[in-house]
Amino acid sequence: MSNLIAPHGGKGLTICLLEGAALEAEKKKAAGLKKVNISPRVKGDLIMIGTGGFSPLGGFMTEADWKGVCEKFLLADGTFWPIPVTLDVSKEDADAIKVGEEIALYYPKSKEIMATMKVTEKFAMTDEKKRWECEKVYMGEGTPTAEAFWKIAKADHPGVQMVMNQGPVNLAGPVKVLSEGQYPTEYKGVYLRPAESRKIFDERGWKEVAAMQLRNPMHRSHEYLAKIAVEVCDGCFIHSLVGNLKPGDIPADVRVECIDVLVKNYFVDDKVVQGGYPLDMRYAGPREALLHATFRQNYGCSRMIIGRDHAGVGDFYGMFEAQTIFEKIPCPKEPGKALLCTPLKIDWTFYCKKCDGMASLRTCPHGKEDRVLLSGTMLRKMLSENMEVPDHFGREEVLVVLRKYYASLDEKVEVKLHGAATGK
């Protein structure tokens, strides 16, 4: 019997990915259904629903779910959930689809039917509703008023841009997932389903597992956070996003290579597991930190490392807002409906020359002039502009991989620095 934390929702893993004869039969049926094009974000959400990563979700949210999640962090049935998981379509598609009808969800980039879905509800998403969702989900302490938020959000917040560019109608209903896309082959050995990560943790005898979220290559601060987790838990799950990022972010295959190099040279092998998951970043800061903890619970993790500006972008969020939000969320009393994965809160970390090692604001008494402030954004800017990387910012083995990647680029995207990246 497993000693790991139970999946979120109290129902075990909700798996909607078909296999074997059921998969082949559904593929044949799907070929004759009305096709609806889906975005990369929806593709990632579908795969997470399929594998059980988004348990207990078995499909896309109803309007009651959507509203409850935005306003109260709760699905319509009272289960905690922090961010909408919705399927948006064009008006033309919506008009052509009837409630009760089955449709095929088609990803045009790979020319593949990803899933079938029974439409149980259609609901309009006006610009007013989209703006309300953005203010509830994406507005943080960095922009304390809606007026201040909208002055910069449309131009500078990729999550807000994603919502505002969505189609005018959402479809709700259960799905049957037919494919995991390119992930099992392109990231073989790294891409893991929740059942697979749980099996690995069980085989190692782990009970308390801390998850580390990564969308940047691992620098010394990430390494330090992971090692703190190894000290206080049975092991650390270095779980990096292999879905889509914003322009200027480093692609997944390069980040995976960096993690491989770092783990091989600087970690005890049986205390760390590397994994990848297929979502697109939403850059929702505190709300996304909650989402990361929610689906990491499904992967078998009881702790979620939350450091400075987790899943943030620009200066939209307070430096530690992603930590304090865990204290403000509802805690449903019904078994399984509350979030059980708890934050492992760690202060701003850096290399201190006087301490002669990694430290944090909680442990280092020295001044800013003695610290090498570590940020993934700063590292990307230095590498993209061929600047010298300061000593102790990153391991040399990792920097070799990154310099090779940046040297291969024909065009470089400007990397904007924000307050948290510069230490202001």
Catalytic residue among 41, 131, 170, 216: 216
Residues with Cβ within 8 Å of residue 70, at least 6 apart in sequence: 84, 132, 133, 136, 137
Write a three-state SS string for 106-124. Answer: EECCCCEEEEEEECCEEEE
Identify the CA nearest to 274 among candidates 331, 192, 356: 192
Count how many Cα atoms sit within 13 Å of the Cα of residue 340 in the half-sphere of its side chain.
Answer: 20
DSSP 364-388: --S-GGGEEE--HHHHHHHHHTTPP
Catalytic residue among 193, 215, 255, 296: 215
Alpha carbons 104 and 29: distance in angstroms, whole number: 9
> Can you tell me which residue has the tokens 């993209």?
384
Q: Distance between terminal CA atoms of the chain?
A: 49
Identify the CA nearest to 294 among candidates 59, 14, 83: 83
Identify the CA nearest to 297 among candidates 92, 122, 124, 48: 48
Residues, the chain: 424
SS3 176: strand
CA angle 335, 339, 344 (to 5 degrees): 140
Q: Which two tokens stand for residue 213?
A: 């979220």
Q: Are strands 209-214 and 303-306 parallel, antiparallel or unpaired?
A: parallel
Rg (CA), the chain: 21
Q: Is 204 a catalytic residue?
A: no
Q: Is 244 a catalytic residue?
A: no
Alpha carbons 158 and 245: distance in angstroms, whole number: 9
Count how many Cα atoms sit within 13 Å of the Cα of residue 66 in the half-sphere of its side chain.
Answer: 25
The secondary structure of the chain in percent helix, strand, coil, rounded to multiples of 5, reads: 40, 20, 45
Q: Taking a C-beta distance cutoff of 8 angstroms, is the pair 395, 358 a contact?
A: no
Active site residues: 215-216
